[in-house]
């Protein structure tokens, strides 16, 4: 920490990062009032399925499309079946809202600009037909056009079929006119066998901040046979970063794309597709089709995240609670990095032994001020001193750098895995994927970080060390206050073990003589 620029860079980075989290949580626009009213838990009444060949529902009419008198655009049709409560716009057959429910309570009511409308159809009637594989919701008009959604009794995959004598296309994902309907949605993406192309709706609807420098507004990803978008709204969340559900289309051929969104072109007046509405959970996505597992965004260190989550799941299988699984998982990670942390602490203790000789060399060159030639000579003399004693001054930094991929991979994993959503630990921690509501663990984590820094051997400028010993724990506490509780628990336990390890190393360390 002798380099003042490095210190200022670290402090500035932490301030900017903490400020971003604070601003996003404090000033992000809330959901519109209508959406907030939908977001709370709602008791689900069991659906009474219509008998086969039930009479079409009576719907008021208000428009004419292609010579057919269509249903009122405001008319909707709702079905509760399996794990869903689904709402369609009758006139177009577009799926407008999905709610996933369990134990009689609705979760994540998600409004869409439109999924699956038959372009220009103007449907007049809708009916439900119950069969052995689920309930079919069928839209029809007098022109012989038909659009059906087979909602399964069990599972997350809907079969979508359409018949259109005029070869109308199926609008898979409709682009909104403004960001108001989709501002809480995440990405819209297309997938190939090995990659995913994604943008957010906001990026397609607004010019970038640097447009005055030539940066252009983004367009929808290129067409593919697989496409979809993030979904799932958390209750009472002002600004949502993570989405644990997805709406995914698997198509018989690549979709078409224009400014209005994506559409599937017909062949001989018929269309078929599969629509997945469910959690971003590996086993469910694998059952749908393997490439769709890419929608679980593990970040840059995806391979490491996969490995860490595999270990975490194995631990959870033994203890049965995700919170305790994270605690035991932390112990495993700390043991796996025990040697690296030991080397880091010993390197810092060794630097403490070098400190008197280092100060003597620095004092010798102090009279030359900012003469760069003399500074280079001083650095050369210092390096010769380290080399003569077989010491690497970067030995304390390298173990920390090697652990960064683990930390970043764990950050991405705990932020995105469906299994930790609403997973309780104990007491006030009822959701490991959300922040600690009372900020107890962030404060404990900051205190443990302060204690560890206070115990660590004092090396370098005392004034800088004193400032960092206070500033870094405070900044990290502020940062983790907005982080998932599971990650904060991990880091707190990690620090506790680190305190014990540092105490043991310092207790057993024997200073070694320095050869000048």
Instruction: Let me know: does 206 contact 179? Beta carbons within 8 Å.
Output: yes
pLDDT at 238: 61
**Domain total of the chain:** 2
Instruction: Let me know: does 452 contact 469? Beta carbons within 8 Å.
Output: no
| 464 and 431 fall within a common domain | yes
In a domain? residue 50: no
Domain of residue 136, CATH code: 2.70.98
| 444 and 420 fall within a common domain | yes
Final residue belonging to a domain, choices 240, 264, 297: 297
In a domain? residue 55: no
Q: Tell me the C-alpha distance between 347 and 401, whole Å.
A: 14
| 491 and 387 fall within a common domain | yes
Q: Tell me the C-alpha distance between 54 and 338, whole Å.
A: 68
| 264 and 387 fall within a common domain | no
In a domain? residue 13: no
In a domain? residue 33: no
| 124 and 192 fall within a common domain | yes
What burial letters (b/e) apply to 464-495, b meaning 16+ CB within 10 Å? eeeebbeebbebbbbbbbbbbbbbbbbbbbbb
In a domain? residue 513: no
Final residue belonging to a domain, choices 261, 278, 297: 297
In a domain? residue 86: yes
| 191 and 81 fall within a common domain | yes
| 185 and 329 fall within a common domain | no
| 292 and 348 fall within a common domain | no
In a domain? residue 265: yes
Q: Which helix (H) or strand (E) holds 105?
A: strand 105-115
pLDDT at 32: 36
pLDDT tens-digit profile, the chain (516 residues): 344 444 444 455 555 555 544 444 443 343 333 332 333 333 333 333 333 344 344 444 445 555 556 678 889 999 998 888 999 999 999 999 898 876 555 566 677 888 999 998 889 999 999 998 899 999 999 999 999 999 999 899 999 999 999 999 999 998 887 766 666 667 899 999 988 999 988 888 888 888 888 888 889 999 999 999 988 876 666 666 678 889 999 999 999 998 889 999 998 899 999 999 999 999 999 999 999 999 998 878 888 888 989 999 999 999 999 999 999 999 998 898 888 888 888 888 888 788 788 888 888 888 887 888 888 888 888 888 888 887 777 766 766 777 788 888 888 887 788 888 888 898 899 888 888 999 999 999 999 988 888 887 666 566 666 777 788 888 889 988 988 898 899 999 999 999 999 889 888 888 777 777
Phi, psi of 221 (to 5 degrees): -60, 160
Q: Which helix (H) or strand (E) holds 190?
A: strand 187-191
| 389 and 327 fall within a common domain | yes
Q: Locate tokens 């979904």: which residue? A: 231
pLDDT at 395: 65
pLDDT at 43: 35
Final residue belonging to a domain, choices 262, 297, 332: 297
| 409 and 472 fall within a common domain | yes
In a domain? residue 72: yes
- DSSP lists the bridge partners of residue 171 as 117, 263
| 320 and 278 fall within a common domain | no
Take residue 23 and report the two structure tokens written for it: 């601003």
| 145 and 280 fall within a common domain | yes
SS3 category, 67: coil
Range of the domain at 457: 306-508
């Amino acid at each position: 920490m002798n380099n003042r620029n490095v210190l200022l860079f670290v402090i500035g980075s932490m301030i900017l990062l903490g400020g971003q989290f604070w601003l996003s949580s404090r000033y992000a626009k809330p959901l519109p009032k209508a959406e907030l009213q939908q977001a709370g838990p709602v008791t689900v009444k069991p659906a009474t399925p219509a008998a086969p060949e039930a009479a079409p529902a009576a719907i008021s009419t208000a428009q004419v499309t292609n010579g057919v008198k269509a249903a009122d655009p405001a008319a909707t049709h709702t079905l509760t079946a399996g794990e869903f409560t689904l709402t369609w716009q009758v006139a177009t057959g577009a799926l407008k809202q999905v709610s996933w429910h369990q134990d009689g309570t609705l979760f994540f009511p998600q409004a869409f600009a439109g999924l699956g409308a038959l372009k220009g159809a103007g449907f007049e009637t809708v009916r439900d037909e119950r069969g052995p594989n689920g309930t079919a919701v069928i839209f029809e008009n007098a022109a012989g056009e038909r659009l059906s959604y087979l909602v399964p009794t069990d599972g997350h995959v809907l079969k979508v079929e359409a018949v259109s004598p005029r070869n109308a296309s199926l609008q898979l994902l409709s682009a909104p006119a403004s960001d108001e309907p989709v501002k809480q949605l995440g990405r819209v993406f297309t997938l190939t066998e090995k990659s995913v192309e994604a943008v957010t709706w906001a990026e397609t609807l607004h010019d970038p901040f640097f447009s005055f420098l030539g940066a252009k507004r983004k367009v929808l990803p290129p067409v593919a046979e697989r496409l979809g978008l993030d979904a799932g709204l958390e209750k009472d969340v002002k600004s949502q970063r993570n989405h644990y559900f997805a709406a995914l289309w698997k198509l018989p051929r690549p979709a078409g794309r224009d400014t209005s969104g994506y559409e599937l072109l017909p062949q001989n007046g018929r269309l078929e597709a599969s629509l997945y509405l469910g959690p971003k959970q590996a086993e469910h996505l694998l059952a749908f089709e393997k490439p769709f597992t890419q929608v679980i965004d593990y970040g840059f260190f995806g391979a490491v995240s996969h490995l860490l989550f595999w270990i975490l799941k194995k631990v959870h299988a033994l203890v049965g609670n995700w919170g305790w699984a994270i605690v035991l998982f932390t112990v495993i990670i700390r043991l796996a990095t025990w040697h690296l942390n030991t080397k880091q602490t010993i390197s810092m203790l060794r630097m403490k032994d070098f400190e008197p000789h280092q100060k003597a060399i620095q004092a010798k060159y102090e009279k030359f001020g900012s003469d760069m030639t003399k500074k280079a000579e001083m650095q050369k003399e210092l390096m010769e001193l380290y080399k003569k004693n077989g010491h690497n001054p970067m030995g304390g930094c390298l173990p920390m750098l090697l652990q960064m991929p683990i930390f970043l991979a764990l950050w991405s994993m705990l932020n995105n895995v469906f299994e930790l959503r609403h997973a309780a630990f104990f007491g006030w921690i009822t959701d490991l994927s959300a922040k600690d509501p009372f900020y107890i663990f962030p404060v404990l984590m900051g205190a443990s970080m302060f204690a560890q820094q206070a115990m660590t051997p004092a090396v370098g400028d005392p004034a800088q060390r004193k400032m960092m010993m206070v500033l870094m724990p405070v900044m990290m506490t502020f940062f983790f206050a907005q982080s998932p509780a599971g990650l904060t628990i991990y880091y707190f336990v990690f620090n506790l073990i680190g305190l014990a390890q540092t105490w043991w190393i310092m207790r057993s360390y024997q200073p070694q003589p320095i050869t000048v």
